[in-house]
Amino acid sequence: MNYSKDIYDKINNYEELYNYFENNFDNIISDKNINKNLIFRVCHIMIQNNLDYAIKILNKLEYDDYTYYSLKINAYSKNYLNLNNAIDILNNIEKTHKHFIKKRLYIPIMEAFIKWFPEKSFDFLVKISKMFRLNYEDVYKFFKMDNKHIDIDILFNIISNNNIILNKELFNKELLNIKCNCKLNKINITITETDTLINNFKNEYFKNNLCEKEIKNIDNFCKNKNYNVFIDGANIMFYYKRTINSDSYKRLNNIYLHIKKMGYNPLIILHKKHKNEIFKNMDIYYTPYGMNDDCFFLWMGLNTQNSYVISNDKLTDHIFKISNEEIFYNTLLKWITNSVITFNTYETKDNIQIQLNFPNEISYIAQKSNNIWHIPIGNNEWIHYTF
């Protein structure tokens, strides 16, 4: 009997899937030809629709597999009587399967603590905040809890370290209108964090001999020239209508002259295929075939103190590749917030006007001053929370 085909045929109809599984349970579980990921998919559906039955299936299975443990923790955490089983699995993973440790295993247990044991939940949050990057969904429920279960200073520090933007609806209205003249700060990336990013960059990209060679070339090109702004030329040229035309060159030239008139010493990073006589009066480093231009302005920005990069690129790929996993907040994102100038242009047939958007003078993260917490709530707005 082809159990896999029958399960696939019924996977989108819970009632049919449940009845089929119930009638053929022992045979399905013992069938070595069924792909375990198909069984895991069934378990996920059952957790959402029939928790007790999902636990019955999971208890019959024996896999040494991350997804299997994740499903068991998720299922056990939804049942008050089985929560200790979830905790036992997690404790065992921490001791014997450290390569399985991910935030996804911890969140269901924290949700269970919030629901049934709020006195334990905050300590658990503090624990995972030292292990993972957290987001709004991980913390907002703590603002709905009795204050006796949480340390508000520690909670806001977690929020600050993870650059979390809160929702003003979490706070009582009387706490939102506090007036203050506190001075807020810009939180700069530290030398240690910068060195870590540079080392991570090398570990990620210098595996390619071409990359290491070309990075050394740009280092030599920039030596003793005191460049302090590195311009993502391709990003600017393709910015309007995503094509290269005569306006692309004007746009890049205008941004170059604009930042130069402000007293900076800019260098354009541009692929050699865009080399053009029109650029002869600008400082440009032409990058080779086979490499991403991002690597060059990112490298120079990280290695040049008090410098900026001009780009509208979100640098998402690099955020995940070279951020420091040992630090629970995102170090490259912190550098981007402080060092990347974005731009807008206003373009007509005869004119291209430039607007450069420098990083904020104040870091838009939760900050404490004079015993008042200043909390970002989106759209560059703040609330003031005192206690």
Mean pLDDT of the chain: 90
Query: d(Cα 286, Cα 293) in Å, to the nearest integer?
Result: 9
Do residue 171 and residue 211 come from a single domain?
no
Do residue 237 and residue 119 come from a single domain?
no
Do residue 138 and residue 22 come from a single domain?
yes
Whether 179 shows a pLDDT value over 80: the answer reads no
Q: For position 175, what pLDDT does the model report?
A: 59
Section 219-234 average pLDDT: 95
Do residue 221 and residue 247 come from a single domain?
yes
Do residue 143 and residue 290 come from a single domain?
no
How many domains does the chain divide into?
A: 2
Domain containing 163 equals 3-175
Do residue 171 and residue 267 come from a single domain?
no
Whether 86 shows a pLDDT value over 50: the answer reads yes
The enclosing domain of 112 has a CATH number of 1.25.40
Model confidence band, residue 316 (pLDDT cutoffs 50, 70, 90): confident
Task: Answer yes or no: is 368 within a domain.
Answer: no
Whether 2 shows a pLDDT value over 60: the answer reads yes
Q: For position 173, what pLDDT does the model report?
A: 67
Whether 49 shows a pLDDT value over 50: the answer reads yes
Do residue 28 and residue 171 come from a single domain?
yes
Model confidence band, residue 189 (pLDDT cutoffs 50, 70, 90): confident
Model confidence band, residue 81 (pLDDT cutoffs 50, 70, 90): very high
Do residue 94 and residue 205 come from a single domain?
no
Domain boundary among 175, 204, 231: 175
Task: Give the lowest-confidence range in 50-54, 88-92, 116-120, 362-366.
Answer: 362-366
Query: d(Cα 219, Cα 237) in Å, to the nearest integer?
Result: 24
Q: For position 369, what pLDDT does the model report?
A: 86
Do residue 289 and residue 153 come from a single domain?
no
Model confidence band, residue 328 (pLDDT cutoffs 50, 70, 90): very low
Q: With beta carbons less than 8 A apart as the criterion, state whether 359 and 365 touch.
A: no
The pairing of beta strand 352-357 with beta strand 266-271: unpaired
Cα-only R_g, the chain: 27
Do residue 199 and residue 304 come from a single domain?
yes
Whether 270 shows a pLDDT value over 90: the answer reads yes
Listed in sequence order, the DSSP H helices in the chain are 3-10, 14-23, 25-30, 36-49, 51-60, 66-77, 83-96, 103-116, 118-129, 136-139, 152-161, 191-205, 209-222, 233-237, 246-261, 294-303, 316-322, 331-339
Task: Answer yes or no: is 219 within a domain.
Answer: yes
Task: Answer yes or no: is 265 within a domain.
Answer: yes
Do residue 342 and residue 196 come from a single domain?
yes
